[in-house]
Structure 1
């Protein structure tokens, strides 16, 4: 059966949502950036600001010099989250299989829904009109796969829907610039242009595999498939399994690795105790770091079969926290839970005797914390990475579920 995939795209979503509440922001150059600092970077830009030469990632000071009329607004994560939830609810009415990729972007798998909604294009038109009822301008791409639908949704059209017929994916992509394809950044685009005079996707798809391997290495075959409009990736439905999450917002932006690792250890320990209480264990974990300029870094990892939760998350921290910018927030979350009696610990796994001894210590600490609170007792391993400034922040940290 041929697939029908929709991609809903609300351009500059944080700005579009802000404009619903503040009509004075409409039809003028707007950027989202941290307030009070010209050293911060632009997080989102309106189409009017882009036409003035402002782009995402540009320092705020430079953006204001380039566009003096630029209106800079502070991020509003709660507003964006509420608006995103409204879009999710709409998507759920059209298909049980939908995937939010980031705020303002949702994939929907409409395969097999023809009797209910008619052609995929008809469903896309209806969805676009429904989003317009929220005073948001949405564009919907329709094709047989996620990549082509995503690209189609970025090519704005008058009626808000761009439909790519099955079998026409390659011809649709051929006249577009190579950087519309995933996996082709600025460096590879310059290499294609300077060494091979390749500017368009159609020219890229015509290259032989030897030339592609010279530029893309082991990814050459994947890039060739993408250039031909082939993308077998499924639409992953939103996770409905339990997720255990904790986060900490530092009272003062922090750049001391010892303090940050101590806070991370505290978050992991709180989650670990919840797993022990529920007699469950996670198979996957993720870490998010939000810097003082509101830029974010995140990564996920599959956990092994041992009891140690902290070491994998510490590895993620050392991989992610590489900027010379203070950290404002850290969040950890675990999912893919299964029942299991293993004693989840903050320590590395050791011999059976060591594991048994660690389990006894952990049980005793859990009982003390339940009776007297979080701040009374901590692992020596945790203190190694923790300054006294961190512990008050962890006290009273409750169920901050993801």
Structure 2
């Protein structure tokens, strides 16, 4: 008989990350209803403090409605560059402390401590890591320790803010049992509504439904939900590598000095890999532009930026880098654009200066590209001259 080794997976989540960073910059915000997002009525809420949440405010809510629910709220437009800086700081602290971790988003981490209980005690090690993050960053952070990623994440969400939870080995199913099915990762609004119509209100009831029935009802997702309802999750902690990248290059059929053509090509290339970022639900924190002259001399220039996947922001950075690179006024043979420092995430609610209209525009553009191909729609600036 092969025994499954006991895993020890800690989930760390920075409490109201954007708000907490703002509070570090201005201590007067502490204890107040704070909203981060677009300042106009057409903007959306990117994040809010727990005090604001008590008024019913939540992320992605229209700012006009949020103001109506809490007129006394303090509104900050948000500074993604500053938030990215603190995200990298916390990442460095964790990387220097643990042997294996996964950066699940800009403010969320999984740490694999399997086997370390023999030497340090996983619970003590996790608690000490929390203290270290708070000491070195000044940011509040929650954690939960469990036998897998699923349960540790749910436990963190249940204990926030300032969570310090531990779900003992073998207690995963009983911990999940009394919780609402809506709290199960992977259960969206439509699935939750369907289950509630069936009378399935808790994870305990979900776990008692035959797996064949859930498979017939929800397909592969139903089988996955059944395993999760049993407290089972074999998903590994994926090691975080800062150097993962998405890139594209173009070698011109004829070397060119036509700036209009070069700029248009940069726009098309940036749109192409920015769409790939959004398709993979990733954000980039570093942009590199590569240029090869006709004599084969190759130069590159990069810039660390606030995490984003928005075309209009990335195109601006790419254009700046190209203008700084192109100094010789020689014929150009090749152009390249590369995004690195990739993290999981969704840029839509991070567009602090953007309106609901712009968020919806990106959704529409991506939908068209997904259905008909990425070249079907693009910016006019990306069109070839005289085309």
* TM-score normalised by the chain length of structure 2: 0.66
1:286 Cα offset (Å): 6.4
1:328 Cα offset (Å): 3.0
1:166 Cα offset (Å): 0.9
Provide the rounded CA distance (Å) in 1 between the counterparts of 2:378 and 2:110. Answer: 42
SS at match of 2:312: strand
Structure 1 segment 288-327 matched on structure 2, within 5 A: 297-299=278-280
Structure 1 segment 276-355 matched on structure 2, within 5 A: 287=275, 297-299=278-280, 328-330=312-314
Q: Which residue of 2 aligns with 1:3?
A: 7
Check if 1:147 corresponds to 2:150: yes
Provide the rounded CA distance (Å) in 2 between the counterparts of 1:208 and 1:387. Answer: 54
Tell me, which stretches of 5 or more residues in structure 1 are unaligned?
Answer: 247-259, 270-284, 290-296, 302-325, 332-367, 393-402
1:266 Cα offset (Å): 3.6
Measured at CA, do residues 376 and 113 of structure 1 come closer, stay the same or move farther in structure 2, by a change above 3 Å?
closer
Q: Which residue of the other structure, out of 217, 235, 251, is the alignment partner of 2:219?
A: 217
1:131 Cα offset (Å): 2.3
1:215 Cα offset (Å): 3.5
Check if 1:51 corresponds to 2:35: no
1:48 Cα offset (Å): 1.0
Q: Which residue of the other structure, out of 18, 25, 32, is the alignment partner of 1:21?
A: 25
1:147 Cα offset (Å): 1.0
1:11 Cα offset (Å): 2.0
Check if 1:372 corresponds to 2:360: no
1:223 Cα offset (Å): 0.6
Indicate if the aligned counterparts of 1:151 and 1:180 stay in contact, CA closer than 8 A.
yes
Aligned-pair Cα RMSD in Å: 3.4
Q: Which residue of 1 aligns with 2:342?
A: none
1:235 Cα offset (Å): 0.7
Q: Which residue of 1 aligns with 2:190?
A: 187
* TM-score normalised by the chain length of structure 1: 0.64
Indicate if the aligned counterparts of 1:30 and 1:71 stay in contact, CA closer than 8 A.
yes
Count matched residues: 289
Structure 1 segment 63-82 matched on structure 2, within 5 A: 63-82=66-85
Indicate if the aligned counterparts of 1:29 and 1:69 stay in contact, CA closer than 8 A.
yes
Indicate if the aligned counterparts of 1:4 and 1:110 stay in contact, CA closer than 8 A.
yes
Q: Which moved more, 1:185-194 or 1:207-216?
A: 207-216
Comparing both chains, which one has the higher relative contact order based on Cα–Cα distances under 8 Å and sequence gaps of 6 or more?
A: 2
Measured at CA, do residues 38 and 386 of structure 1 come closer, stay the same or move farther in structure 2, by a change above 3 Å?
closer
Measured at CA, do residues 167 and 389 of structure 1 come closer, stay the same or move farther in structure 2, by a change above 3 Å?
closer
1:246-298 alpha-carbon deviations (Å, 9 max, x no partner): 8xxxxxxxxxxxxx9965524389xxxxxxxxxxxxxxx76367xxxxxxx44
Q: Which residue of 2 aligns with 1:226?
A: 228
Provide the rounded CA distance (Å) in 1 between the counterparts of 2:276 and 2:44. Answer: 19
1:137 Cα offset (Å): 1.7
